[in-house]
Copies of this chain bind each other. A is one copy, B any other.
Amino acid sequence: MHTINVVLWGLGAMGSGIYKVLLERSGAEVAGAIGRNPAKLGQDLGQTLGLQPGGIIISGDVRSVLEKVGGGVVIHSTGSFFKEIHHELMQAVRAGFNVITIAEEMAEPWEADRELAKELNEEAQKYGVTVLGTGINPGFVLDALAICLTGACCSVRKIEAERINDLSPFGSTVMATQGVGITPEEFKTGVDKGTIVGHIGFKQSISLIAQALNWELDQIVEEKEPIISSTYRETPYVKVEPGLVAGCHHRAYGYKNGEAVITLKHPQQVCPEAEAIETGDYIRIEGDPPVNLSIKPEIPGGQGTMAMAVNMIPVVAAAAPGLKTLLDLPFPSCWSRFEQAY
C-alpha cells in the first residue's frame, strides 16, 4: 500500500489540528508544511505544537516544499476568499498536487467568482489534479447534510436549516467580526462598513442545495441582525452587559418564483446558555415525507472542518481531474486507513 503525501499549506488552528489528526491515521501522512509565521519557520511542526518532533520542518518557501514532496494532496487553509487564495491554489495545481481547501468560498467557487473558477478548473484538468473546497459549514451542516436528507424525499417544497452555536471559545478577532460586546448602533455601522461579516459561505450552501435539487433561484438574500443580550455574559475575551450585542444572527434566503424556498439561519453568540438557548444543528424539510432533524449539541466547527478536510483525502485522490464541489464526489467517511485508489 502506497501512502498519500500531504502538504499542509497554512498552519493556523486548522492546519495544525489537521497535522494532529493525520498522526492517528494511516494511508496518508504529512510530508511538508508551509507557514508564514516568521517565528516558527525552520522549526519542527510537531515540536511547535508541543508534540514529539516528527521531522516536518515548517518552511516559508512554497516552491521548494512542493518540489521536494513532488505530488499528493495539499490541504490548504490560509484564507476564506477565492480572490485572496486563487494564486496559491494555482501554484499547488501547477506543481501537480490535488488540493483540498477549507476556504469557505471554495465550497461553491463558481458562485464566488465564475472567471477564476473557470481558470482554475481548466488548469486542474490540464495538470490532472482535483481541487475541492470543504469544511463543516459551508460543506456539511447547512448544505451536504440537507442535500443527503432530500435523497429520502419523493418531493421537496422548502428547506430550512439552522446552526445555533456558541462563540465563547473564540478570541478577539472573531468577537470583532461578529460584533460581540458592542452597542446595537455600533453593530449596524459595522455591518454597513463590512467589518462585521458574520458567517462566510451562505451563498455557497444555498447554491449547492439549489443545484442538487435542480431549482433555479431568482436571488439569494442575506440579513445580519444583532443578538441583543438581556443578561450579563462574559468570556475570557469579552464582557457583554445587558442591552449590548452578544452575537450576530446571520440569515440567508434562496428565492424561487418570489418565495423563500431555502432558508438558512446561523445565530452565533457567546454564552447562549445564559438565556437558555440550546445549541444544535437543525434541518427541516417541507416535503413528502417531511423530515425534521436535530443534532444536539451542534457539530463543533473546528473539529468538524479538520475532519472533513482529512476525510476527503482519499475521495479527492481518486476523483476525476478538475475543480469539484461536494455534489460531484462520493461522501467522505472517517476512514481509519485506506487502499489507495490510483
Contact = CB atoms under 8 A, between A and B. Distances in A.
Nearest to A305: B152
Contacts of A274: none
Contact of A294 (B21, B147, B214, B293): B293
A82 B304 CA distance: 38
B150 A334 contact: yes
Given A291-B299, A292-B295, A24 B155 contact: yes
Interface string A118-153: 000000000000000000100011001101111111
Interface string A37-67: 0000000000000000000000000000000
A281 to B, nearest CB: 9
A215 B289 contact: no
Interface stretch (A170-178, A181-189, A306-314): A306-314
A190 interface: no
A145 B310 CA distance: 19
B293 A289 contact: no
Interface string A269-302: 0000000000000000001110111111101100
Given A141-B152, A147-B333, A330-B330, 18 more contacts: A140-B152, A144-B148, A147-B331, A148-B148, A148-B331, A150-B311, A151-B332, A151-B333, A152-B299, A153-B307, A212-B333, A213-B333, A213-B335, A292-B295, A292-B297, A294-B294, A294-B295, A328-B330
Interface residues of A, number: 52
Contacts of A257: none
Nearest to A27: B214
27 contacts: A136-B152, A141-B152, A144-B148, A147-B331, A147-B333, A148-B148, A150-B334, A151-B307, A151-B308, A151-B332, A152-B299, A152-B308, A153-B307, A153-B311, A154-B310, A212-B333, A213-B333, A213-B336, A214-B337, A287-B334, A289-B299, A289-B303, A289-B304, A293-B295, A294-B295, A327-B330, A329-B330
Contact of A331 (B215, B303, B331): B331
A232 interface: no
A220 interface: no
A338 interface: yes
B338 A214 contact: yes
A217 interface: no
A196 B214 CA distance: 43
Contacts of A145: 148-149
B292 A336 contact: no
A145 B147 CA distance: 11
A156 interface: yes
Given A289-B300, A291-B299, A140 B144 contact: no
Nearest to A335: B214
A335 B308 CA distance: 25
Contacts of A297: 292
Interface in A212-247: 212-215
A10 to B, nearest CB: 18
